[in-house]
Structures are given as structure tokens and as C-alpha cells.
Structure 1
């Protein structure tokens, strides 16, 4: 418990009077245990506390019994989101001292977090995913996808980017974001689409011209889940003319990835274009672009399909944001455990095997 409490230094208990019947840190510990066992919200936390009271008394005092679901709901609605986010960053500091490799930036909407009565839109969480570590490195919330552009700079400030390559979709292919990544010592590989009108057109014309001085790697073929995908990467570094015309911060190369996807029913093709701040080889460029999809496959898909995040109906106050951070912590703990097995299987094992749950808690 001492190490667990250290994670929450600087986090103020927002409850007053009779509402503070139960110990603040004990409530957080029970909530974390419930999420590690597959719990989805305050009702599940209350049920977990009742059913696992003998186990919880092994390391908690529970002087006033176990908290009810209303206690969990009230606490997470009132908890300061900035303080809770800062606590997550301290928690992550013990897991990964330095970001390495590819850091993918992407957003996800919590679909059931809207509140029609108050006109509250669904919460939009923007996360930084360490593709090599397979950990959530940081996150920040915004109330609309249109505000993601303003949220990403704040997210980047939370990270040490030296030695990393930051990837992002076309929405975040912005001059200010590119400049910030370079200023923080990182490199970028930003998807380029029509939102950067003339720059996009110039890059497409240049890379699609057979006479351009570009290097193309051997195609990479992967077969999985009933489909065959062939990816061919091309990189060009002879872009002095492009820098002269567009003055894009830190631009050192441009690249494209041509994807050919074959399934039993049809064949589709797609070409994606990118801005690069480092003269990557086509092979490395292909790896970096492929790594970016880890944020979808290993984070967002798990949150939706395994942890059922989109069906969580927490809507009031700061509840949706704080519970989303708690789920990120749970994913990181499961990943840090290192034992083989699916995430769903680990959640089930934690709920059935108290010794395994205790081992997960020791990672704090």
C-alpha cells in the first residue's frame, strides 16, 4: 500500500464531511483491483468490493466496511482530472524512464459518455502509445474531435521525445505540431492529406513521377486473418525545392506507402503520403508507418472489445475521464506483467486467482 499511495501524491481528496467515510487511498486501491479483474464502472467496483472483502482485508483496513457503488461514482465524478492525469504520469515514470522508438498519437471517442440532458458531447481521449513498449505513455481529454489539434501539443509536452519518432494521422499534420516535435528533440512521420492543399499536391506529383530521385524498398508481404497485404515504401530526400516553396519545419524527406490488400472477395489498393523529419531508409520508413497501427490494434481495439469501454455509461462530472485513465493504467500493468496470454485471459485470471491479482498489485 505504501508504494501504491506514492502513485497518488499530489492528488487531493475532493470529498468533505460524511462523504469521506471511507479512506481515500483504499477506495482507489479497490477501484484499481476491480478494473484489473475486468470491472467496467462504479457498479462493478461496488460488487467487487463486496465479493472480495476477505481478500481486500488482507492489505486494507476497511474500518467502515466496503464502499458502495455510489461512493465510487461520487469520488470519480469529483476527482480533479489534471491531478489524476499527473498521477498517471508519475505511475508511468516507474515503468518507462525514457520513451523509445515509435510514439503513436491518436484519439478515441468514448461513445456512451455523452449526456443529452446537459448537452454534453462524448469525451474524446487523445493518447500517446509507445509502440515498442506497448504502453500508454500519456493521455489528454477533449470534448470534441475538432479540438484534438489543440490537445496534441499539450500531450507532447508530457513526453520526453529525444530519440523517438512521433507518428500521427493527417488531422495532426500541422506546422506547429511538427515544430514542437523537432524542438523537443524528436523526429516525426506525419500522414499527409488534402488538409495541406498545395503541399500535398506537390508531394503526390513528385513521388508519383517515375523520374524523381526516390528510393523504393522491396515489397513486404504479410498474410493474416484471411487477407494478404503487400506494402511498398518509397522515400525521397532530394527535396530542397519543396523546402524552398513550403518552409515546413524540420522537413528532411517525403515518402509514400502503397498498400495492396487481397481478400477472398476483392482486391483494394491505397497510397498514403508522409512528411519525415529524418532521412529514413524505405525499409525503416515502412516499419515506422506499420508501427503506428499499434495504437489502434493494441490499445483502442482492446479498450473497445476486451474492456468494453464504449458501453461504459459513466457520464457525470469527471467520471468518464478518470475512469478512462484507470483503464489505461490497467492495460499498462497487464503489459508490464510480461506473462504470455491474451489481455482478456489475464483479466479473467486476476478475477479468479487472488495470488495473481496480488502479483499485479506488486507492480505498483
Structure 2
């Protein structure tokens, strides 16, 4: 399999004429390395290249010297996000990171990416995240006038789902999305909420009936920082009653349904107790233990991706707004996160970024994953 630098070499160059003064590969590698080392903007990329020129000349040609921040800005406004995003799957193949497990699908808004003068709203991207590996599998932006549902389908269509369990919130509990997952060799586990009111009411009624009983249950307990949470996981495999054969527009069927599940979570904190109940539909015949693991795995996208991007990469403060700039820089951040995740795993992402910025020797040990 090719190295990440070789993969970046395959990205088409959108520039013409004198705008090609600097090699595309050099620009992409500098931007990615700078992001790994703590940089957040095109100005940062240019400053970092100037300060660390000796490091970059170890593996880049730089025939026309160092690029300016305007050069970086123009490039990321022009480059095709789909072509840059294609680097995810090839790099992950190289790492052997696409083994069996849970793929979590979730959307996130880049809050400072709006352009009020151009009437452009903030960019919303949908990401696929392999929780067990802690790696981003891909990203697709929601186009102007589009929605997260269709963006998620576009993303799922380019990811290898064989043997994987795809988890998503209730907005994606759609028959078409479920069929796409199944056609690509995976299974789905989607939350069931009030956007499917008739189906939710049927499931709530079933679980409330004293005459019915789940096939299997599992109770888990978490306690930390003065908070105690007890979760009861219940799965049902007798599911034929949920979607009768007669066509019912109020209850659109979910293909290959095999499991209906419920989580009842009771939380005690500061002397107060609260209870929440969540329901799920899945095409996989899940045990209670497998269901509990999958539900917990889905939230890894919040803690392992969104939270890291906001707190460590300061993504919510990113000010890129023009053309493809916000989307492409979001891809660079996620590629940087994947490199950081795979290098020196015993050290936190925050520490690795800081130490890479401070020390050429430490930076070499991290960016060696790219070569």
C-alpha cells in the first residue's frame, strides 16, 4: 500500500499558470505537518514552514522556496474536497485499520465558517468514525440547500462497510439509508425517536406491556466524579409484529430488521436522580452485550472526534470561509488526527501536538507515519 505522501501526490492540482510555482505535494505536506504540530490556519502554515524549513527540506524539494499564506489560502479554496477526502480510505487501508467493528455516523457544524457578506451559512459536515481504532474514515459536507441525511448516504456509498455495524442518530433511521448499508455489506443500528412517531409508539407499547419480555437483558454501571449511572439494555428478536405486511405510510418499514432494543439509563448526581429511555432498530441479531457495546461505541465519535477537534484543534474557532476552504481544512485536520492517533499511542493527542511543535526529533517520530 502507498504511503500518505504518495497518496497526496495523486490529488489533482486545480491551479493553472504561474499559480503552480510551488509543488502541490509540498503545499499539502507542509499544511498537514503544520496541523499535526499545532497550527490552525493558512497563516500558521506559512509561518511554520519558515521556522522549520530545515525539517521540510529533509523530505521535500521546495524548488521555489517557501510558500506564502496567500498561496495556501488560494489552494484550499480551489482544491476538490472529494479528491482530498479520498485520502482517508487509502491511508487507512495502508494502516490495516478498517477491521470489523462499529462505524459511527454523525454531523458537526463548523460554527465560524459562515460568510455573512456572501449569504453563506456555516459549513455542516458528516463524518464516519471507527471508534475502536479511533480513526476518521471519511467526511462529506452538506451542500447548500441539502441535508445531513443525503450527505450521510453519499459518505456511506464510498466507505467499505463489509462486516461493519453502522450506528447513527434517529435522523438517519430511514429505509433508504438502511438499504444502502445492507447493500454495501454492513448492518445498521439506528436510534428510534419521534421523527417516526407511529413506530416509536408501537415499540413503547410493546416494552410497557407486562405480558411481553425481552429476549435478553444486561445491566451496566458507571461511577465517576460523583456521578452514578446504571444502564439496563434489553433486546428483542421477535420483530415481525412491528411492520405488518400491509402497506402503512405511517409506519415505513426498515429492511431486514432483526433486533429491537431499549436502554433505560438512571443517573444519580448531587442527590438527584433522572431516568432516560432510548430505543433502537437494527438489522443485526444483537445480544444484549453486543448492543450495549455498540451503543457505547457510537458515542466515541463525540469524545474521540468532535471533542478533540474542538478542544485540541480549536475547530469551532476556525475562520476559513471562502469557497472550498472550510471543508478542505477540516479534512486536513482529520488527516492530522489520524496520523496522531496511529503514532506513539501511549501519549495523548494534545501532548503529541505540543511536543511535535517544540521538537524536530519528536515531529519526525510522528510524521514518519506519513512516509
**TM-score, normalised relative to structure 1:** 0.95
Decide whether aligned partners of structure 1 residues 178 and 63 sit closer, same or farther in structure 2, where only a CA change above 3 A counts.
same
**Distance in 2 between residues matched to 1:143 and 1:301, nearest whole Å:** 24
Point out the more displaced range, 221-230 or 142-151: 142-151
For structure 1, list consecutive stretches of 5 or more residues without a partner in the other structure. Answer: none
2:295 pairs, out of 257, 265, 289, with 289
Residue-pair matches, total = 363
Verify the 8 A CA contact 2:128 2:136 in the aligned structure 1. yes
CA deviations 1:119-172 (Å, max 9, x no partner) are: 111111101111111110111111469611111111111122121111000011
Q: Map of 1:1-364 to 2, 5 A cutoff? A: 3-96=3-96, 98-143=98-143, 147-244=147-244, 246=251, 247-264=253-270, 266-364=272-370
Contact preservation (8 Å) 2:9, 2:25: no
Post-superposition shift, 1:307?
A: 0.6
The structure richer in helix per residue is 1
Q: For structure 1, which segment, 263-272 or 290-299, has the greater mean C-alpha deviation from structure 2 after superposition?
A: 263-272
Contact 1:124 1:145 in 2 (8 A): no
Which sits farther off after the overlay, 55-64 or 319-328? 55-64
Alpha-carbon distance between aligned partners in 1 of 2:66 and 2:109, rounded to the nearest angstrom:
32
Q: CA distance change for structure 1 residues 61 and 41 in 2, over 3 Å: closer, same or farther?
A: same
Taking structure 1 as reference, are residues 164 and 352 closer, same or farther at Cα in structure 2, changes over 3 Å only? same
**1:218–1:80 CA distance, 2 compared to 1 (3 A):** closer
Please state how far the C-alpha of 1:258 moved relative to its aligned partner: 0.6
Residue 97 of structure 1, CA deviation: 5.8
Q: CA separation of 1:45/1:225 partners in 2, compared to 1, >3 Å: closer, same or farther?
A: farther
Describe the superposition over 1:251-272 as per-residue Cα deviations: whole angstroms up to 9, x where unpaired: 0120100111122253221100
CA contact (8 A) 1:99 1:161 kept: no
- Whether the 8 Å CA contact 1:121–1:143 is kept in 2: the answer is no
Shift of 1:99: 4.0
CA distance in structure 1 between the aligned counterparts of 2:341 and 2:34, rounded to whole angstroms: 17
C-alpha change, 1:349 and 1:291, in structure 2 (3 Å) is same
In 2, distance between residues paired with 1:84 and 1:16? 18
Q: Compute the TM-score of the two structures, normalised by the length of structure 2.
A: 0.93
Instruction: Provide the C-alpha distance between the structure 1 equivalents of 2:10 and 2:126, rounded to a whole number of angstroms.
Output: 23
Superposed CA RMSD: 1.8
Q: How many Å separate the matches in 2 of 1:167 and 1:218?
A: 20
SS in 1 for 2:112: helix
SS in 2 for 1:217: strand
Taking the aligned partners of 2:208 and 2:187, their CA distance within structure 1 comes to 25
Unmatched 5+ residue regions in structure 2? Answer: 246-250
Write out per-residue CA displacement over residues 46-90 of structure 1, whole angstroms, 9 at most, x where no aligned residue.
110111112222222323221111111111111111211223332
Counterparts of 1:195 and 1:276, CA distance in 2: 17
What displacement does 1:208 show?
2.3
Which stretch shows the higher mean deviation, 39-48 or 234-243?
234-243
